[in-house]
Amino acid sequence: MAKFNVEIVETLSRVIEVDAEDIDEALFIAEEMYNNDEVELDYNDKESTDFKEYPYPRFQEDFSMDIDYSKKDNKVKVKSGDLIDSEHSCKDVEELKTALSEAFTAFEKENYKNRIKMSKEMKERQSEEKEK
């Protein structure tokens, strides 16, 4: 049996209310509160857990992604050849980040499936050549 490295990434998140003159000051205050242990995230703040191949595989070939955003209906359309074709509703930047992350994850999974398929086909060809 082979050994594989798998990275486990756990994301914690909490929204806090901060009194400040503007968003820059609020971000600074929140960071200071966090650094001074006034805000400590724990298992109750768990947002997601991801499992990833490690080290991350390199792209096997060039690719491009088309991203179209419609402010009118808050829709983001992501397309990358035959591997991705998705539409997401995004009201703000965080939802956009999530949508793009989901689309890219789908791309990675499909790309991985294609690599496995190619690897199996190559092994089958090598096996057939040995039999000859």
Q: What is the three-class DSSP state of 113?
A: helix
The reply to whether 91 and 129 lie within a common domain is yes
Amino acid at 107: F
Number of domains within the chain: 2
> Which residue segment(s) compose the domain that 50 sits in?
1-56
The reply to whether 70 and 123 lie within a common domain is yes
**Tens digit of pLDDT for each residue in 91-111?**
888 888 888 888 877 777 777
**Tens digit of pLDDT for each residue in 42-69?**
999 999 898 888 887 676 667 788 888 8
